[in-house]
Structure 1
Amino acid sequence: MNIVLWILAGLLAAVFLAAGGMKLAQPKEKLAASPNMAWAEDFSPAMLKVIGAVEVLTAVGLILPAALDIVPALVPLAAAGLVLLMVGAAITHARRDESRSIATNLVLAVLAAVVAWGRFGPYPFT
């Protein structure tokens, strides 16, 4: 199960590093013009940067603390943070009637919840 949790954490980290990096690197107008990012119209440019930074930090928090053996307890906290972030994203998409995006958010939330459960519970880093 330890390997499964590492794989899930790695996949989540890759997804959120890419998504957060995109939000940090691109202006609001370019993000909002993308078909899957129309929700960006509802947020200020500063808030989009904050969301991107949170995504990048949680991606880093899923891998580096355990890989470097420096406060590995941060891994399940980062995963729990991603669950909260995805719940917020699902709410945003629900308000905009974007059901396909809600499904994606829920899948990512469940994967992050599995990592949080595994690392908080039966498979912590020792």
Structure 2
Amino acid sequence: MNLTLWIAAGLLAVVALASGISKAFVPKAKLAEAPGGEWTAHASAGFVKPLGILEILAAVGLILPAVLDIAPVLVPVTAVCWILLMVGAMITHFRSSEFKFVAVNVAYLALAAFVALGRFGAESFTA
């Protein structure tokens, strides 16, 4: 189970890092042209760029605290924050009629819930 939780957290971290880098460093106009990025056309750069930075921090928070054994409780806390982020993403994509991306966000939410429940529960780093 521990290995499965590590894999799930690693997959989420890769997704968060890739998504965060694109939002933080790709111009907003180019993001708006990309599949799934249409919503950025209606959002300000002052919203999209910090969102990207939060996603990069989520990637770090899903892995580094456990690897360094410094406040490993931050891993499930970050997973819960990712769940909240995915709820917002699902609402945004639903409003834009991007139902394929809503389904992708549901999958990411489920993966984050698995990590949160596993790391707060039986496979806690403090157990």
Task: Provide the TM-score with structure 2 as the length reference.
Answer: 0.96
- Whether the aligned pair in 1 keeps the contact of 2:36 and 2:98 (CA below 8 Å) is no
Q: How many angstroms apart in 1 are the aligned matches of 2:83 and 2:109?
A: 5
Partner in structure 1 of residue 16 of structure 2: 16
- Count of aligned pairs: 126
Partner in structure 2 of residue 107 of structure 1: 107
Unaligned runs of 5+ in 2: none
Deviation at 1:52, TM superposition (A): 0.4
CA RMSD of the aligned region, Å? 0.7
Matched, 1:73 2:73: yes
| Percent of aligned pairs with the same amino acid | 53
Q: How many angstroms apart in 1 are the aligned matches of 2:100 and 2:5?
A: 26
Q: How many angstroms apart in 2 are the aligned matches of 1:71 and 1:44?
A: 34
Deviation at 1:101, TM superposition (A): 0.6
Partner in structure 1 of residue 50 of structure 2: 50
- Whether the aligned pair in 1 keeps the contact of 2:23 and 2:48 (CA below 8 Å) is yes
Q: How many angstroms apart in 2 are the aligned matches of 1:82 and 1:116?
A: 10
Moved over 3 A (4+): none
Alignment of 1:20-35 (within 5 A): 20-35=20-35
Deviation at 1:36, TM superposition (A): 2.1
Q: How many angstroms apart in 2 are the aligned matches of 1:72 and 1:106?
A: 25
Q: How many angstroms apart in 1 are the aligned matches of 2:10 and 2:111?
A: 11
